[in-house]
Amino acid sequence: MIAGLRIARKVFQNPAMAALVSGEFLPGPATESDADWLDHIARTSSTTFHPTSTCVMGPPERAVVDTALRVHGIAGLRVIDASIMPAVVSGNPNAATIMIAEKGADMILGEARSAPAVKAAA
């Protein structure tokens, strides 16, 4: 990260670019040492990706949930969110996550409708 930021600074200090730049405001020209750069990186960096794909769907030997979103080996537990995606989608995962939630709800309702009725104890 430090090396990349130093290169970016040099690019903008190049005469061809310098004419278009009014000045450096982050991290600022006083940032020179590795410690200063690391401090800047720690304070300002973050990911641009949405966390997904941590409970991948598939067969038990390779995944956390089955195709009905049930957690392998744990009865009654499902994962119905972006974590079941096998890979990060190329765009914002919001629509895909909503689709997963709606499909998961449909699966649960479908199973509930087809299950035998349980009579309440008198």
Over its length of 122 residues, how does the chain's per-residue pLDDT go in tens digits? 999 999 999 999 999 888 888 888 889 999 999 999 999 999 988 776 778 888 888 888 888 999 999 999 999 999 999 999 988 888 889 999 999 999 999 999 999 999 887 776 65
Would you tell me how many other CB atoms lie within 10 Å of the CB of residue 86? 11
Long-range contacts, stretch 91-98, CB < 8 angstroms, 24+ apart: 92/50, 93/50, 93/52
Predicted pLDDT at 121: 67
Predicted pLDDT at 83: 93
Predicted pLDDT at 5: 95
Bridge partners, residue 78, by sequence: 70
Active site residue 50: yes
Predicted pLDDT at 98: 96
Predicted pLDDT at 77: 95
Of these residues, 50, 55, 78, 96, which one is catalytic?
50
Those residues with Cβ within 8 angstroms of residue 105's Cβ, 6 or more apart along the chain or in another chain? 80
